[in-house]
Amino acid sequence: MTTVWNDGRSGVMGQTAGNLALSHLEESVGVEFEKLKGTIFVGGELVCIGRACGTDSYLGASVLHWANVSQDQQAELETFAAEHGAQLYYLLVAAKDKPAEVHYWLLPAQIVQAVLAAKGRDNPGDTCGIHIVESEGRHMLVDHDVSAHHHVVVLSHEQAGRLSAALSRDEQRSRSVKGRNRRADGGGAAHKKSPTNGDFGTRFEIPLACGNKAVLSVERPVADTDVARLKAWLDIMQDILGSRVKHKTI
């Protein structure tokens, strides 16, 4: 199995699933991938921008994958691919634990570019959260049916065990980080005592047009990448909640 997906930001589970997906793709198209940088891989006439969801526990029932993408990165790699006679793709990988599975979508970059344009996020410096949602048996990326680009990696017993072990390592690290945060915050007492915006900006009550409110609560510390992740989830909420409203009014 290839080991070129080794960017720590993917987590142990994301790296393991990413390498399994790359290995499956290598066998399918007869190429060998090399790491260009980060989670960008080159093999034969393929340039792949990798994005991994290391667990499906936070995705929700209908969301199959989500990722942050960058207009600048897409433009840069489109130029790189053209200069090397290659095609640019997004390799979107999702790992599942029960049962242990690896799913991936190999999307032509033109599809993602169309999504960025439709969302008005195709200007220099723009980033955007994109997500694949299951709807009536189809895998939808906004208005694009990407079901034909979906692949499932059939795992051996050994590979399934490796995936489960990777998840355990990520969960152990997450518990360790949360424990340190609680100790640094005095056991989390600050969060319990003050459920308002005054709690050092960790809880926000956002008024909605219907008179209700949305509550956003964030545990510290928060990195820049976490802020981008929150923005991506707001994009998911916009499409999913908007879709539910449409269905109710039909």
Asked if residue 225 and residue 133 are part of one domain, the reply reads no
For residue 71, the enclosing domain spans: 8-162
Q: Taking 80 as the threshold, does the pLDDT of residue 204 lie above it?
A: no
Among 161-165, 190-194, 197-201, the range with the most confident prediction by mean pLDDT is 161-165
Per-residue pLDDT band for 198 (boundaries 50, 70, 90) equals very low
Q: What is the pTM of this model?
A: 0.73
Residue 177 resides in a domain? no
Asked if residue 18 and residue 139 are part of one domain, the reply reads yes
Using one digit for the tens of pLDDT, what is the confidence trace for 137-164?
999 999 999 999 999 998 988 988 888 8
CA distance linking residue 159 with residue 100, whole number of Å: 9
Q: Taking 70 as the threshold, does the pLDDT of residue 27 lie above it?
A: yes
Asked if residue 202 and residue 153 are part of one domain, the reply reads no
Asked if residue 111 and residue 52 are part of one domain, the reply reads yes
CA distance linking residue 153 with residue 24, whole number of Å: 7
Q: Do the strands 213-217 and 40-43 form a parallel or antiparallel pair, or are they unpaired?
A: unpaired
Asked if residue 229 and residue 147 are part of one domain, the reply reads no
Asked if residue 52 and residue 19 are part of one domain, the reply reads yes
Asked if residue 156 and residue 196 are part of one domain, the reply reads no
Looking at residue 170, what is its pLDDT?
Answer: 72
CA distance linking residue 160 with residue 36, whole number of Å: 28
Identify which of 87, 90, 88, 105 has the alpha carbon closest to the alpha carbon of residue 153: 105
Using one digit for the tens of pLDDT, what is the confidence trace for 32-75?
999 999 999 999 999 999 999 866 665 666 889 989 999 999 99
Q: What is the 3-state secondary structure (H, E, C) of the chain?
A: CCCCCCCHHHHHHHHHHHHHHHHHHHHHHCCCCEEEECCEEEECCEEEEEEEECCCCCCCCCEEEEEEEEHHHHHHHHHHHHHCCCEEEEEEEEEECCCCEEEEEEEEHHHHHHHHHHCCCCCCCCEEEEEEEEECCEEEECCEECHHHEEEECCCHHHHHHHHHHHHHHHHHHHHHHHHHHHHCCCCHHHHHCCCCCCCCCEEEEECCCCCEEEEECCCCCCHHHHHHHHHHHHHHHHHHHHHHHHHHC
Asked if residue 109 and residue 201 are part of one domain, the reply reads no
What CATH number is associated with residue 39? 3.40.1350
Looking at residue 190, what is its pLDDT?
Answer: 40
Asked if residue 155 and residue 193 are part of one domain, the reply reads no
Contact at 8 Å (CB) between 64 and 103?
A: yes
Average pLDDT over residues 113-127: 94
Asked if residue 28 and residue 139 are part of one domain, the reply reads yes
Asked if residue 123 and residue 19 are part of one domain, the reply reads yes
Residue 194 resides in a domain? yes
Using one digit for the tens of pLDDT, what is the confidence trace for 208-236?
666 666 777 777 777 766 776 676 666 65
The tally of domains found in the chain comes to 2
Asked if residue 200 and residue 148 are part of one domain, the reply reads no
Looking at residue 99, what is its pLDDT?
Answer: 79
Per-residue pLDDT band for 181 (boundaries 50, 70, 90) equals low
Residue 71 resides in a domain? yes
Tell me the average pLDDT of the chain.
81
Q: Taking 50 as the threshold, does the pLDDT of residue 111 lie above it?
A: yes
| Close Cβ partners of 159 (under 8 Å, ≥ 6 residues apart) | 1, 20, 100
